[in-house]
């Protein structure tokens, strides 16, 4: 009977089980990557606009005593204010990261990787926006930082997204989960 069904085109159980594997399975993960990136980017951009409008040129706001303050700082360098003379290089690096993530998105079938790469993409876009559009000039702009924990560097939501995305990527790599959804054991 199965042979007759196959000849006239009626699917049997084996064909139905194979059907889902033939359908494209990456669309939802790509949308998730861009949704996470958009949320991270909008939160970063909005927070920076608020900081520039309400906090810049004012006294810092103590959130948890001396342990955590909101303080507007313009950072032309990288983490911890290092590399102030290399702003254009940081701009190039951020642009390269964005291109790599967008290219990788075509092969993205893993939800955790979509979240991790979305955080990286949103954070990179947030800081790249500052580098392009803020003073002192195009590709030399200083990033707006404002989260100031005691005894640590001042940072922003884009930096937080980048760090969280990076930590998630390390954890996924240790677990052997690849961006295409496969699991390997080394």
Catalytic residues: 145, 159
One-letter-per-residue 3-state SS of the chain: CHHHHHHHCCCCHHHHHHHHHHCCCCHHHHHHHHHHHHHHHHHHHHHHHHHHHHCCCCCCEEEECCCEEEEEEEECCCHHHCCHHHHHHHHHHHHHHHHHHHHHHHHCCCHHHHHHHHHHHHHHHHHHHHHHHCCCCCCCCCEEEEEEECCCCCECHHHHHHHHHHHHHHHHHHHCECCCCCECCC
75: Cα separation from own chain's centroid: 20
Rounded CA separation 145/124 (Å): 14
């Amino acid at each position: 009977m199965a042979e007759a069904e196959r000849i006239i085109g009626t699917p049997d159980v084996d064909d139905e089980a194979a059907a889902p594997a033939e359908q494209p399975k990456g669309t939802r993960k790509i949308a998730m990557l861009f949704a996470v990136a958009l949320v991270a980017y909008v939160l970063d951009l909005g927070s920076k606009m608020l900081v520039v409008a309400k906090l810049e040129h004012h006294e810092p706001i103590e959130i948890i005593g001396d342990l955590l303050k909101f303080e507007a700082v313009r950072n032309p360098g990288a983490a911890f204010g290092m590399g102030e003379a290399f702003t254009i290089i940081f701009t190039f690096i951020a642009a390269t990261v964005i291109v790599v993530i967008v290219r990788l998105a075509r092969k993205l079938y893993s939800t955790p990787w979509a979240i991790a790469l979305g955080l990286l993409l949103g954070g990179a876009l947030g800081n790249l926006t500052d580098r392009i559009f803020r003073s002192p000039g195009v590709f030399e702009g200083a990033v707006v930082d404002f989260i100031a924990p005691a005894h640590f560097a001042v940072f922003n939501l884009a930096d937080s997204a980048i760090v969280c995305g990076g930590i998630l990527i390390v954890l996924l790599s240790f677990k052997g989960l690849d961006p295409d959804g496969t699991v390997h054991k080394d």
